[in-house]
Every structure is written in structure tokens, then in C-alpha cells.
Amino acid sequence: MFYNGARVAIEGPAELQLVSSSEAVFTAGRLTAEVPPQARGFRVSSPKLDVTDLGTSFGLNVGSERAEVHVFSGLVEFRTAESTNRSLQEGRAAVVTGAGAPTWIAADRTGFASLFELQSRSVAADAARYDQWREANRRWNRDDSLRVHFDFEQAIPDEWRLPNVGRWSDRIPDAAIVGCQWVEGRWATKPALEFRGVSDRIRLQIPGEADSVTLAAWVRVQGLDRQINSLFMADGFAPGTLHWVLRHDGVLGLTVIGARGAHQILVSPPVMTVEQFGLWTHLAVVLDGAAQRATHYVNGLAVSQHEVRHGPPYLLGASEIGNWNPIGFPGGDPFLIRNFSGVFDEFSLFDRALNDAEIRTLFADGKPQTDPPSQARN
């Protein structure tokens, strides 16, 4: 959707360069444009011909030796390198081959995908992908190490409870939602929770300890408003507790609290940039107690690995997602406020160290869209 109101659908493989709010350069592929009267003058340039819309609907097919413009409704002007402006009316098409002059044929709408058809295909693909994720969820929920799994599918908005659907659901109580708003998740029909206010949070109680821990979440970051932005944080600083955060500079951090006030902060390189705000991102951290190692992951790939000085057991207990209960923290300190700004769509806590392949699978199972075949083979 261009700023002036023109809508363009592109069928790949294709290459489009955005020039301005009303102009683009199209060097390869198939394109359909719907241009309302308010966007009159919308222009698409290509190596063999330039098209200026006069309030219409048209298609453009650009290859290495041949270019076609088809007018489905209204009127366009087009120009080749060897000619002045020419008008092309509804139902007509112009073909330019090599360096030759244009030839004229009837417009062929069947050769182009309409915006409506592309939208229908997209909706169908999203529905299929959503079903695939649900099936993968059922498999993961059978994992004995999955202590907590919030998939946000079984939302109970009126009661402000968030059911735990993991293997330990009978031993770990539902979480309490404080503030937050229900919004659209990774798919149009899937709910998720948006965190806006400084008090928005999910409160949970996880009994027991663990020798290793894996934390994973699908998030859509809206901004890094605080010096420290909470993902999952245990209350206070009891020995063995964990704090998983995103810093204001886009760095992932895991703080491991040791005995007698000792602690270790394990940070990744910057991984969350402004360009990623508003995009669904899979974050994970694996704390391997046996190997004394912690690994940060983004979208299924390890981004940093660290030696851990404070070994197990790790205390879970009272914790929060998206905020922090700063027991024992000095009042008035600006670091006290650590709220998250964005949306959580899924959260998992395992009491074991998932390996690289499992993290990749966890990411692949939850991706809103699958890779195109060409990418999937690489």
C-alpha cells in the first residue's frame, strides 16, 4: 500500500525498488496495481517501458527481453526509450520486445493474480500454518520437562487467568494476568497479550528447583523504553534465581544470582534493532547446569555463549513475565521499573537444557510463515 493510496501486488520472483510515496521501479516479475482517483499519477518504471496511471487498474509483466502492460480498467500512459507518451485504454495491452516498437494485444487478466486472489491465498496459507503450529504444540506439551507453557489459546479474559498447558499443568497453577490487553497474535485468529502500562505483567508461581533451565518466547517488541526491559524475572534476588531481560541497546541478558549476593550477568551482542520493532521474534536462553554454560538464541540461532560461575540448583518460585517484583531492591532507583513494551504470544519454560537442534525446531514450529521452497532447501 503506497502512501498516496495505490495498492500493488507482486508475484515472485520479482524485484521492486521504492522511489517515493507515488513511484516505484520494477525490474523483474509480475505486478498488479489498483490505483484509486486520489492516487492518479502513480508511476512504475521498468527497463523497457514506464507506466503512469490515470486512475485505473493495470498489470505489468517484466522479463529480461520482454515487457507487457495490460490495462484492466481506466487509462494509462506509457513510454518506451524510443517513443513519446502513448495512451492505453481499458482492455488493451502493449508488448515491447528487445529494442522494437510496441505491439498491441488484448489485455489478459487471467495472466495476473488480483489483489483479492492473493489475499485469499494468504488467508488460506495462514490458516494452514496455524493448524501446523497447533499440532506441533500438542507434541511439545507431551515433553516431561516442559514445566510451563503459555500458548494463549485457552485464554480466560473474564477471570484474568492464563492456563498452563505444559506437562506440569496439574502441579503448577494458572498464572494471573495483571493489566495487559488481549490483541491479535501471530495469526489473525490467535490471541496474544499486549503489555503497555508500567504495571502490566503475568504473575506465576513455579514450585521446586532445576539443574538446567530453558526459557523461550515469541514476542513483538514495540520499543525498549527502559534501561532494562523484563522478559522473565524471578522476584527479588534469592540465591539461584534468574532474570531474563532485553536491555535498551538491544542486548539480551541473563542474570544468575549466586550465594551471599553474588551474581553474574551474561549478555549477548545487540540483537534487537529498531528495524525489528513490530516483527515477531523468537527469543530463547538455555542455562545448562551440567556444562556450566548459557546460550542466547534469536530466531533459532545461537548468538552468544557464556561460561556460568554459579551452578545449580536454580530456583524458580514466584516470577513475572513482562515485569518485575523488586523484593529487596532500593526504592526510588530508576532500574526498579523494568516493564516490557510489546506483545507476548507464547512462553515456554523447560527444566532441562534444550540443544541447538531443539531450539531450531521450536522456532520453526512457531514461525508465522514457512520458508519458501528455495530457502527451505538451503
Residues 171 and 29 in one domain: no
Examine residue 119 and state whether it is found in any structural domain, yes or no: no
Q: Which of 56, 91, 113 is the last residue of a domain?
A: 113
Residue 224 has pLDDT above 50, yes or no: yes
Residues 138 and 164 in one domain: yes
Residues 159 and 78 in one domain: no
Range of the domain at 93: 7-113
How far apart CA 114 and CA 34 sit, in angstroms, is 9
Confidence of residue 331 (pLDDT cuts 50, 70, 90): low
Examine residue 2 and state whether it is found in any structural domain, yes or no: no
Examine residue 228 and state whether it is found in any structural domain, yes or no: yes
Examine residue 80 and state whether it is found in any structural domain, yes or no: yes
**Please, which residues bridge with residue 156 across strands?**
161
Examine residue 357 and state whether it is found in any structural domain, yes or no: yes
Residues 58 and 142 in one domain: no
Number of separate domains in the chain: 2
Residues 108 and 170 in one domain: no
pLDDT-above-90 percentage for the chain: 65
Examine residue 1 and state whether it is found in any structural domain, yes or no: no
Indicate which CATH number applies to the domain containing 32.
2.60.120.1440
Query: Which DSSP category does 156 fall into?
Result: B
Residues 6+ apart with CB under 8 A from 128: none
Examine residue 211 and state whether it is found in any structural domain, yes or no: yes
Residues 182 and 247 in one domain: yes
Contact 88, 107 (CB under 8 A): no
Q: Give the chain's largest Cα–Cα span.
A: 84
Q: Which residue from 235, 251, 252, 254 is spatially nearest to 243, judged by alpha carbons?
A: 254
Indicate which CATH number applies to the domain containing 290.
2.60.120.200
Confidence of residue 37 (pLDDT cuts 50, 70, 90): confident
Contact 179, 317 (CB under 8 A): no
Residues 6+ apart with CB under 8 A from 170: none
Residues 85 and 215 in one domain: no
**For residue range 313-323, what is the model confidence (pLDDT) as tens digits?**
999 899 999 99
End-to-end CA distance of the chain: 31
Strands 314-321 and 228-234: antiparallel
**Please, which residues bridge with residue 270 across strands?**
251
**For residue range 191-204, what is the model confidence (pLDDT) as tens digits?**
999 999 989 999 99
Residues 237 and 306 in one domain: yes
Q: Which residue from 231, 320, 331, 319 is spatially nearest to 283, judged by alpha carbons?
A: 231
The residue with cell 516498437 is 101
Residues 237 and 367 in one domain: yes
Residues 264 and 141 in one domain: yes
Q: What average pLDDT is seen over the chain? A: 89
Strands 175-178 and 201-210: antiparallel
Residues 98 and 140 in one domain: no
Q: Which helix (H) or strand (E) holds 54?
A: none
Confidence of residue 377 (pLDDT cuts 50, 70, 90): very low
Examine residue 34 and state whether it is found in any structural domain, yes or no: yes
Query: Coil, strand, or helix at residue 11?
Result: strand
Residues 310 and 187 in one domain: yes
Confidence of residue 56 (pLDDT cuts 50, 70, 90): confident
